[in-house]
Structure 1
Amino acid sequence: MEIAIIGAGAAAVSLLDALSLTQHRPGGITVFEDSPSWWRGRAYQPDADAVRVNAPPTLMSVRASDPQHYARWLTEHGGHDHVDRLLGVPIVPRAHYGTYLAASADDAIARLRSHGRRVELVADRVTGWDAARATVRTAGGGVYPADRLVLCAGGGHPRDHYGLLGAPGFVLEPYPLARTLADVPPEASIAVIGSGLTAVDIVVTLADRGHTGPITMLSRRGLLPAVQQTLMPLTFHHLAHQRMPDTVAGLVTAMEAELAEHGQDLAPLAAELTSTEDPVDRLRRQLSEVDSPYLGRRLLATGIHMFGSAAWQRLPAQERAWLRDEALRTVNSLASPMVPGNAEILLRLFDSGRLRLLAGTVKIEPATHGFRVHGADEFAPDIVVNAVNPVAHSVPQRSEVLVASLRESGVAVTGEDGGLTPRDERIFVLGAFESGTSFVAPSVQTLAVRAAALAPRLAQ
């Protein structure tokens, strides 16, 4: 059996680890990656120390069967130098987590080779798959065996929503922030397009570099990520893959029943989902609730990552459309919270007046010097940094040629959400552009669970 893995980020690391732990016959695995960021992907490449992992260690293990896998590695590799004051656990620079991913990949490859598997790493881009010959071809002209094809290529490329590409002072792809923000004058006025986790990274990095100029976040909904709470043991009795509700109302009822198991009610969580609270007031309140015994936000975030895709597939089209159009940002803010350390930095900047968040639709255009932002408040930033991530299920730029060829040959089709749906049982998708999954970006924990389920099928 010859397996071709396209992409070498966190999804591929989880898959290699899972494959190394399965009972399998000797065979070949070829991993293809044409960027220099082997095993780290876009998120975990070398960067500024202020760019931190967004979750506690037990939610960041690449091994689904061992939630402490990453925590043990951290203990041995200096993670306790970066303990979040409110969470009480290490929240390390994201590049340090990238080192964990690389180490996990190396360990998995060593195990696979010790079991008689050939593992080859190819620094080239796959452009097509020949189903009849069971081979892939690359941009460099190589041909490699591939009985099974697994696309682990991550998410798409950020969009230039305002047509600013090429304008001096505009940054479309912010990562790595150590490079893209290196030459920003400390007194410059900065506009950040977006207010999600990437925007938080940008603001926190600027603050760490001693930036003194004004920073403005631009957000249509004016919504910041929620604040991560301390972990508590969670079990689900009413939400399960085997009896998943098929309506939003059914999901609400199931969540209400989960909370009732703990003697709690749905009202505080419902208020969180429908709140029109001022974003800075919400940030302040949620920082005060990091240790709150109320489980609503914890259950919702965990449930979205555990059951989100299964629930999404059962919902009727009109309810999926409503969630996508009306609830996407609110659900994302709760499903992917920021760590309290970053939240404290943002609150200090808001309170000092150096940071503000403008809600509503804006127009941004280049000016003679810098830019002009037109909206509820017009101003002239020197620099504009994009923090809007690719839309869910968008095809990664590096995989566009391959995906187009798969579609043209009929072995895969575009799903209703824009993602990829295989039509050949030898093709698999693991990651952000897999069709049929929810609009919430998959967490490392989600990828690890999916990889563990996929590995036995690939080893057959």
Structure 2
Amino acid sequence: MRIAIVGAGAAAVGVLDALAVSGAEAGEVTVFEPSPHLWRGRPYGPDLDSVLVNAPPAIMSIRHADFGHYASWLGPERAEAHLDDLLGQPLVPRALYGEYLVDTAEAALAELRERGWRTRVVAARVVAAARSGRGCRLRTEDGHEHAADQVMVCVGGGTPTDHYGLGGAPGFVGDPYPLADTLDRVPGGAGVAVIGSGLTAVDAVVSLAARGHDGRIALVSRSGMLPHVWQRPLGYRPRRLTAERVEAGAVTLDGLAALLRAELDDAGEDFAHFTRELLAAGTEQPVERLRRQLAAVGDPSIGRRVLQESAHTIGPYAWRLLPEPDRERLRRHFRLATSVASPMVPVNAAILLRLFDSGQLTVVSSARKIEAGFLVRADGGDLKADVVVNAVNPPPQSVPHAAEPLVTSLLADGLATMHPSGGLVPADPRLHVVGDLAGGGPFITSGIPGVAARAAGALRTALSSGS
């Protein structure tokens, strides 16, 4: 079998690792990626040490269902060197996590070659694909064509949207990563408006602080809602809200809520109190909520921990089974769901709280407009900024700009269709989509557990289709 993997980020690493441990009969695997930073993708390339992995090791394994794979690679020495005392877990710079992805991919390729597989990495972007006999033919931007029996599209997610039309304005940073490059152009005393208040915005603020920035910083967003703060892992495994329970019956939002209620009941916790606490995020002052959550990092309550784990492990599967009215109910809580499912690490929360308390950092909510020359118009008053950093997360299931020609060709040939809610859906057993571009997935950005699960599942389907 000839397998083509288009893209070489975390999703591609998940596919290669799954292939290496599958024991599949030897064939050929070709990876297409123009970037010199193989296997890292956009999030895990070289960057500042202040840009941290935003999750504990147990949910950062790129090997599906092996929760200790990443922790084993990290080892005790590196884990100790990067220990977050508040979380009680190692939190490494994202560039170091990128090394884990690199080592995992290279180990997988070495294992495949040892078993007789032919492996190649082609340093070119795939711009077109079409059916050819029983397989597919891929064309790269240099005009060369490549044959494959199964195609795995692993091109990553989109890029931040320029909501205020500031592209090209002096002092506007349209895409903050890598922060090592973009923040190097920000004067130390400049007034900085960071658009957004999610994890990317947190990265930008924390990295400005790490570089000794002494100018004013404002988080500018419509909601003003900050990410929740990770709590210290307890090693608790859900007993009610499990994949087996979800698979056993018709999936509805009320049914999932009942399983979570039962989980909390077993632990002696009040479900109504838990839901009131979650919904209060929309009205509570963000700084006071941050202060309270930082103080509760060691709180033994399981509610938020179970919900966060389930969002990444069960969520992608359950979402596909939910009735559309239930999906719409969840979409109405998009900002809250994102805040809960993608929390910030305590060390970053402590830095933000220090900046808030000093008056250097503020939150500007209900932002209506940002004018060229950088005057922020908000319901609470106007704000002047010298630099604007666009830290809005790309929409889930959006097409990366560089992958647009490939996606256009897949649609034209009938190999794929666009999902009504965004993303690409295979329309032919020769094509598989892994990562945030996969259509029909949840409205929150995929975490590593979801990417690893999708990679393993797509690989199993590809092997069975080609057998």
Scaled to the shorter chain, the TM-score interval is: over 0.9
Structure 1 residues 155-209: Cα deviation after superposition (integer angstroms, max 9, x where no partner): 0121111111110000011000010000211111000000000000000000000
Q: Give the corresponding residue for 2:438.
A: 434
Contact 2:396 2:444 (C-alpha < 8 Å) held by counterparts: yes
- Letter of the structure 2 residue corresponding to residue 231 of structure 1: P
* Partner secondary structure for residue 228 of structure 1: coil
Identity within the alignment, %: 49
Instruction: Give the partner amino acid of 1:314.
Output: L
- Name 1:382's counterpart in structure 2: 386
- Report the CA distance between 1:80 and its aligned residue: 2.4
| 1:34-433 equivalences in 2 (<5 Å) | 34-75=34-75, 78-133=78-133, 134-232=136-234, 233-240=236-243, 241-243=246-248, 245-275=250-280, 276-324=283-331, 326-367=332-373, 371-376=374-379, 377-433=381-437
Asked whether the 8 Å contact 1:158–1:172 carries over to 2, the reply is yes
1:233-269: CA deviation from partner (whole Å, max 9, x where unpaired): 2123244341355332222112101212222221232
Name the counterpart of 1:447: 451
Classify the secondary structure of the residue corresponding to 2:139: strand
Q: What amino acid does structure 2 have at the position aligned with 1:259?
A: L
- Paired positions, count: 456
Report the TM-score, using the length of structure 2 for normalisation.
0.95
What do the CA deviations read for 1:418-439 (whole angstroms, capped 9, x no partner)?
1111110111111001111101
* Shift in alpha-carbon separation, 1:378–1:245, aligned structure 2, 3 A: farther
After superposition, what is the alpha-carbon deviation per residue over 1:361-408, rounded to whole angstroms, capped at 9, x for unaligned? 3211112xxx11111220210000000011011011121111111111
| 8 Å Cα contact 2:433-2:458 kept in structure 1 | no
Whole-Å Cα distance in 2 between the matches of residues 309 and 101 of structure 1?
A: 22
Q: Contact 2:15 / 2:455 at 8 angstroms: preserved in 1?
A: yes
Distance 1:266 1:22, change over 3 A: same
Matched residue of 1:181: which SS? helix
Offset at residue 350 of structure 1 (A): 0.5
Runs of 4+ in 1 over 4 A off after TM superposition: none
Distance 1:34 1:272, change over 3 A: farther
- Distance, in Å, in 2 between the alignment partners of 1:458 and 1:261 is 41
Structure-2 separation of matches of 1:417 and 1:243: 27
Instruction: State the alpha-carbon separation in 2 of the partners of residues 378 and 47 from structure 1.
Output: 33
Shift of 1:122: 0.8
Deviations 1:88-110 (CA, angstroms, capped at 9, x unpaired): 22101111111111111110100
Is the 1:245–1:251 contact (alpha carbons within 8 Å) kept by the matching residues of 2?
no
Deviation of 1:12 (Å): 0.7
Q: For structure 1, which runs of at least 5 residues remain unmatched after alignment?
A: none
User: In the alignment, residue 112 of structure 1 is paired with which amino acid?
Assistant: L
1:457 aligned residue? 461
TM (norm. structure 1) is: 0.96
After superposing the two structures, state which structure 1 stretch, 381-390 or 437-446, moved more: 437-446
Q: CA deviation at 1:311?
A: 2.0
**Pairwise CA RMSD of aligned residues?**
1.4
SS in 1 for 2:109: helix
Contact 1:309-1:438 at 8 Å conserved across structures: yes
Secondary structure in 1 matching 2:298: coil
